[in-house]
Structure 1
Amino acid sequence: MAFDPDYLSDSSSSNNVRRERRRQEDKRRMAYRRAIEDYRESQSLQATICDFPELLGQTDHHRSQRLY
């Protein structure tokens, strides 16, 4: 069987294309995962802050409404 350099280059270029496509998919997947984690963290923080309305500065607003 003769050595065919064209076959070798086609094979390696298709492997590179597959590898690059996989790398891009992994990057996209990780970006989605980070977005979900950020969203969950912000929801958790929001829930924690809502437990302490005085941290939001709402206490002064409610006091001023009671005086009038």
Structure 2
Amino acid sequence: MTRKVGAALWTGYRAGALVVDRGTGRMGVMQPRTDDSYTIAPVDGSGGRWTVRSMDRLRLATNDERKALGLGPRSVD
């Protein structure tokens, strides 16, 4: 991201967002940000929570992935 004077600093998805780890394919829910990382709680019950230091590793779950879990499409605020 290029920093410009007056530009908002993007700090990631809000807590509660359903995300997918690009590296592993694991799906989970964003937790509140800590000082140096983002904690993700898995939705499939396998393994424990994991952390990522960079938002580059995450993407929002698609509507099809959400549907597979019985969730509706995501909304945009």
Query: What's the TM-score bracket when you normalise by the shorter of the two chains?
Result: under 0.3
Larger gyration radius, structure 1 or structure 2: 1
Q: Higher helix fraction: Structure 1 or Structure 2?
A: 1
TM-score (norm 2): 0.20
Of structures 1 and 2, the one with the larger relative CO (CA 8 A, separation 6+) is 2
